[in-house]
Structure 1
Amino acid sequence: MEVGFIGLGAMGSAMASNLLRAGHAVRGWNRSGSAGIDGILMVPDPADAFQAEVVFTMLSDDAAVREVLIEPGVLAKARPNAVHVVTATISVELVRELIAAHEEAKLGYVSAPVLGRPDAAASAQLNILTGGKAPAVEKARPLLEVLGRKLWHMGDDPVQANAAKIAVNMMITMAIEAMAEAVVLTESTGLDRGTFFDLILNTLFGSRSYESYSAHIAAGEYEPGFKARLGLKDLRLAAALAGETDRSLPMLDAVRARMAETVDAGMGESDWSAMADFTINRSEKPS
């Protein structure tokens, strides 16, 4: 199949490479103007990528989507009946705008945010949340199955997939903060954090998020897999979604404030689990 791929950062390049290895013809475009990937045809304009049958975008945030796709009017130049698959975590507000824009341009639209870090993308072990009308989802399905271990269909409304992804990322930050606060308590008695994590992982908290991020916290190493500044962006998306229904989410408010403190402390380019470092080593009780 002819595939376009816009956004060839750590995640996008791994995903595009897997599509290429699966035998698909991939044309790519990247904002950085990087040299690209062997075997991928790099095109000079995003509209050129939209001449493919199915186009993936992995852009970092709402602003990037607007800059690359909406403001230049790329959708109006797209191949007729192409399907656009948006794999990044963006706001529900923007998703609704994109749905309307794709309907006007007579293009298919699929929300397909992914669960997984660049290593999972490289090994095609992503979990992919899909939302969209059946014809568009089914056209993209063979490609999505190349990229992930499992597809999780959230509903016919693309917004539902984005809401699920935002909620998952919110819950991951809550898990990171929960482990950090537990370390503050247990280390106050001299208990080694590795011993404590061994306990929780093998009893009540043996989930993937706890396993992955406890390793970062135990080692005190926060090399970026998913950067803290992007984690803060996703928590802002969660707060905005909660605000639509005027609901109070106190845990969300707490982790959003703590992630903001982490970024403000100069750790925005570190892994988002660096929030634990801020809680354990840098925060002080208000006087």
Structure 2
Amino acid sequence: MEIGVIGLGAMGQAMAKNLAAAGHTVKAWSRSGGEVAGVNVVDTPEQALQADIALTMLSDDSAIREVLLDTGVLSRAKPGLVHVVASTISVSFSRELVACHREAGIDYLAAPVLGRPDVAAKGELNILAAGASATLEKLSPILEVIGKRIWNLGEEQPTAHAAKIACNMMITMAIEAMAEAVVLTEENGLARERFFDLILNTLFGSRSYQVYSANIIQDRYEPGFKASLGWKDLRLADAAAEQLGRDLPMLRAVLEQMAKAVSAGGGDKDWSVMADYTIRSIDR
């Protein structure tokens, strides 16, 4: 099958490589150019949309709007194209994309993913899918190449993006919880590695706790998922809550703390750098 990929950041590259390795013809476009093994890098996003399926993995609402909507490229896509939006975008923009795809006569499947670049490279992402049942059934063999499980979240595409935003919000809450726990325990004589050994083997053994406790123990926050993008996702969650007329106090707390970590120079570091900011804030 011919598959277009729009966006070749760390996640997009991993997806494109896996799709090509599975025997599909992949043509990809990226604003930054570059080469990807087994993938035909094309000159324009319009070329990537001349395929059976196109997968978009751009960074945010504004990037998708600029590349696909403002240029009119989406309306010139190949007839019969199915467009998979794997980016983390706002709920309101997802609703707008529903209308744009309907107007263009193109199937739209929302499929944001859970997993860092290393998980994407292994083809083990969790895919949060929402859209027409027939469309999801048709694309399942393709999605299975990049993910270990496809979660069917219903036929309303914005539902999947709301779920992804909620998941990322909860991960930041876990990071902040671990940081605040370290403040309490380390100042009272318990090394953080011993504390996390206790926590991971009793109360909290999930992947988020495993991955980010390791960062906190090592005091290393090399880029995995950038804090600047985490901050963006928290703002999306805050906007979604505001649209519902709801106040989410824990969300507001981690949003403020992530903003401080980014402002302090951590924007390009892994988003768990928020923990470092919290742990060291007593000295600031």
Band of TM-score, shorter chain: over 0.9
Amino acid at match of 1:246: G
SS in 1 for 2:27: strand
TM-score, normalised to structure 2's length? Answer: 0.98
Task: Tell me how far 1:283 sits from its aligned partner.
Answer: 4.9
Alpha-carbon displacement from aligned partner over 1:116-136 (angstroms, at most 9, x marks no partner): 000000001101100111122
Does the aligned pair in 2 maintain the 1:52–1:79 contact within 8 Å?
Answer: yes
Determine the structure 2 residue equivalent to 1:8.
Answer: 8
Alpha-carbon displacement from aligned partner over 1:84-130 (angstroms, at most 9, x marks no partner): 00111001111111110101111000110000000000001101100
Instruction: State the 4+ residue runs in structure 1 displaced beyond 3 angstroms.
Output: none
Task: Tell me how far 1:284 sits from its aligned partner.
Answer: 5.9
Q: What 5-or-longer segments of structure 2 have no aligned partner?
A: none
Structure 1 CA distance for aligned equivalents of residues 283 and 127 of structure 2: 39
Tell me if 1:201 matches 2:200: yes
Task: Tell me how far 1:190 sits from its aligned partner.
Answer: 1.5
Residue 283 and residue 57 in structure 1: after superposition, are their counterparts in 2 closer, same or farther (change >3 A)?
Answer: farther
Alignment of 1:40-59 (within 5 A): 40-59=39-58
Determine the structure 2 residue equivalent to 1:33.
Answer: 33
Does the aligned pair in 2 maintain the 1:85–1:140 contact within 8 Å?
Answer: no
Amino acid at match of 2:279: I
Does the aligned pair in 2 maintain the 1:3–1:24 contact within 8 Å?
Answer: yes
Determine the structure 2 residue equivalent to 1:134.
Answer: 133
Identity between Structure 1 and Structure 2 (%):
60
Alpha-carbon displacement from aligned partner over 1:165-201 (angstroms, at most 9, x marks no partner): 0000000000000000000000111210000000000
Determine the structure 2 residue equivalent to 1:110.
Answer: 109
Task: Tell me how far 1:236 sits from its aligned partner.
Answer: 0.3
Determine the structure 2 residue equivalent to 1:181.
Answer: 180
Determine the structure 2 residue equivalent to 1:257.
Answer: 256
Does the aligned pair in 1 maintain the 2:33–2:41 contact within 8 Å?
Answer: no
Does the aligned pair in 2 maintain the 1:85–1:111 contact within 8 Å?
Answer: yes
TM-score, normalised to structure 1's length? Answer: 0.97
Alignment of 1:39-188 (within 5 A): 39-188=38-187
Alpha-carbon displacement from aligned partner over 1:253-283 (angstroms, at most 9, x marks no partner): 0000000000000000000000000000135
Does the aligned pair in 2 maintain the 1:83–1:139 contact within 8 Å?
Answer: no
Structure 1 CA distance for aligned equivalents of residues 233 and 75 of structure 2: 29
Structure 2 CA distance for aligned equivalents of residues 106 and 134 of structure 1: 17
Task: Tell me how far 1:33 sits from its aligned partner.
Answer: 1.9
Alpha-carbon displacement from aligned partner over 1:141-176 (angstroms, at most 9, x marks no partner): 111011010000111001111000000000000000
SS in 1 for 2:153: strand
Tell me if 1:281 matches 2:276: no
Q: What 5-or-longer segments of structure 1 have no aligned partner?
A: none
Structure 1 CA distance for aligned equivalents of residues 187 and 36 of structure 2: 50
Does the aligned pair in 1 maintain the 2:21–2:38 contact within 8 Å?
Answer: no
